[in-house]
Amino acid sequence: MSCGFNVAQQIQSQKPASIDYSPLPPPSNNEPETELWLYSAIAGKVLVNGIRRGNRFYCQHQLSLGGSVFNIKTIDFLHDYPDLNAMDIYSSEQLRRLKTASVNLDKNRMAYVISLLAFERICEIKHLKEDLEQTKNILAVHREYLADQATLQKMMNFGLRYINDSCEKLLQGRSDLPFAKLNFYYSKFAAYNASVDVLYHNTQFLMFLYEVYDRIGIDDSKDFYSIVNAKNLDNAFYNPQGYMVFGSGNTTFYPLVSADVGAHEWGHRLNTAVCNQKYEKHSGGLNEAFSDMQGCSYEFYIYQKNKDNCEFRGREDWLIGEDLSRNYTTRKLRDMINPEQGLTPQPKTYGGKYWPDVNNLGVDHGGVHTSSGPANRLFYLICTRIHDNDYRKTALLFYKCYNSFHSTSNYIDLRDEILKREPKASSVLVEVGLTPDAVSDETLISNGKSSIPPRFPKQRYPQPRYPQPRYPQPRYPQPRFPQPRFPQPRFPQPRFPQPRFPQPIFPKHRTRE
């Protein structure tokens, strides 16, 4: 999967879509909010703030932070607006007037437990030991809930109404369900609670920026609107109009609402506010790397915040998208420890194996999803070797570096900024190929003419040069052999008699005496 920012680049020139029907009025911002523990699709049990009306919870929250108030709202296209297309452009006013996503509190737990039962069987089939152990521990908390026959009947009725399947075999603990059916159950019931994930992560990401970067919000906007469950979309992206789109998944992914993927997409909005890097060549690759850094750092932040929450799923790691992929052979999208091991291999050194042709803009804007690998690995190496696993210190270092960037800053600029702020990083810079003599392989424009310098010097590391002794070379006389002279045959030339014509005799001129 390439980042959804590609999609945003393609559709940002469109005009706002028209909504032909009158949208339902959203909950008023003046209504009192409630803090509740709810069950989410990917994260597990989380503490969220929103508006509660009876047995229904609306995923809308006003967050006060540093003297500012942020309006956080999710809109569920799959369940509330199936006729709307998430690939269209919507204005902030249109999104404000649309109905807020909501969940039934009883069905919230039912969908969560059914999805966990399906995921447990998936882990057994695919031999995912760590995930299986964690899932069994979480299900143990709901053992009494599942033992109630009335509850099981309600869950089967819910399945019939929601997906036209009672899930009876799954609820009875049958082990003969095919893998495709289990995948279907997990994806569909996770989608029911996806709006809870988005509400939670949008709120916590703003808290992350405030606590780690001392930053209030991302940009001047105070609206954080998100479209959840974009139908059959195997992607998530930040739309430059100012809102997020999270796909429901299709053939490749489950609902794309995990912590790292959401923070990655908000990272693109943060990059636009900080340095607005062009989405091409080196600057595009560094843009992608910056978003991966936000995704990974936010994941560390959120898991440390929930260290005492036994139902918080997943784990903190250096992987991107590992909780979403249906491909259980290579679940991760990207690997910051070894970029070559991701779903699509990336180079782990600048200019090394898998390095793309950054000047070929026709292929992924110059390979922006590939060239981000060395920067990702650099982030990991600095965090683990220099900052003693203090992800906050490393994230702040790169955040300050990007604050000094301009729209076309490249890897050489990153090397220089890192050395300026963290001189101890010289060794790890060399390890990722950013040596003191490394040069950019981007096309340079000079006097209207394009010239591509050598991609890298022949010797990447300076080699000692010792004077070579010069020995006189012996000079041997070259033998001269006489060239043979062969006599040339001499043939007599025929002589033909020349005709003799009588010469006229003219009288001599006599002068007068």
pLDDT score recorded for residue 445: 41
What integer best gives the mean pLDDT of the chain?
A: 88
- Mean pLDDT (whole number) for 485-499: 71
Confidence band of 461 (pLDDT split at 50, 70, 90): low
* CATH code for the domain of 255: 3.10.170.10
pLDDT score recorded for residue 175: 84
Which residue from 274, 292, 439, 287 is spatially nearest to 379, judged by alpha carbons? 292
For residues 96 and 73, give the distance between their C-alpha atoms in angstroms, rounded to a whole number: 8
For residue 457, being part of any structural domain is answered with no
- Mean pLDDT (whole number) for 324-343: 90
Distant-in-sequence, close-in-space partners of 166: CB < 8 Å, separation ≥ 6: 156, 157, 159, 160
pLDDT score recorded for residue 22: 47
For residue 145, being part of any structural domain is answered with no
Look at residue 38 and tell me whether its pLDDT is greater than 80.
yes
Helix (H) or strand (E) holding 258: none
For residues 61 and 49, the answer to whether their CB atoms sit within 8 Å is yes
For residue 23, being part of any structural domain is answered with yes
For residues 6 and 8, give the distance between their C-alpha atoms in angstroms, rounded to a whole number: 5
- Mean pLDDT (whole number) for 387-396: 97
Look at residue 453 and tell me whether its pLDDT is greater than 50.
no
For residue 154, being part of any structural domain is answered with no
pLDDT score recorded for residue 472: 73
Look at residue 240 and tell me whether its pLDDT is greater than 90.
no
Bridge partners (DSSP) listed for residue 73: 60, 225
pLDDT score recorded for residue 452: 39
Look at residue 507 and tell me whether its pLDDT is greater than 90.
no
Would you call 446 helix, strand, or coil by DSSP?
A: strand
Would you call 150 helix, strand, or coil by DSSP?
A: helix
For residues 85 and 245, the answer to whether their CB atoms sit within 8 Å is no
For residues 67 and 64, give the distance between their C-alpha atoms in angstroms, rounded to a whole number: 7
Residue 211 belongs to what domain range?
Answer: 5-104+194-276
pLDDT score recorded for residue 459: 46
Would you call 256 helix, strand, or coil by DSSP?
A: coil
Q: For 190-219, write each residue's pLDDT tens digit.
A: 999 999 999 999 999 999 999 999 999 999
Which residue type occupies 460? R
Q: For 291-333, write each residue's pLDDT tens digit.
A: 999 999 999 999 999 999 999 999 899 999 999 988 888 788 9
Would you call 117 helix, strand, or coil by DSSP?
A: helix
- Mean pLDDT (whole number) for 59-88: 95
Bridge partners (DSSP) listed for residue 244: 226, 238
pLDDT score recorded for residue 5: 58
pLDDT score recorded for residue 329: 80
For residues 73 and 63, give the distance between their C-alpha atoms in angstroms, rounded to a whole number: 11
For residue 114, being part of any structural domain is answered with no
For residue 72, being part of any structural domain is answered with yes
For residue 17, being part of any structural domain is answered with yes
Confidence band of 17 (pLDDT split at 50, 70, 90): low
For residue 416, being part of any structural domain is answered with no
Angle between helices 179-192 and 149-163 in degrees, nearest 10: 90
For residues 396 and 392, give the distance between their C-alpha atoms in angstroms, rounded to a whole number: 6
Bridge partners (DSSP) listed for residue 69: 64
Global confidence as pTM = 0.84
pLDDT score recorded for residue 59: 97
- Mean pLDDT (whole number) for 131-152: 95
Per cent of the chain over pLDDT 70 is 84
For residues 483 and 387, give the distance between their C-alpha atoms in angstroms, rounded to a whole number: 82
Number of folded domains that form the chain = 1
375 or 326, greater pLDDT: 375
Bridge partners (DSSP) listed for residue 71: 62, 223
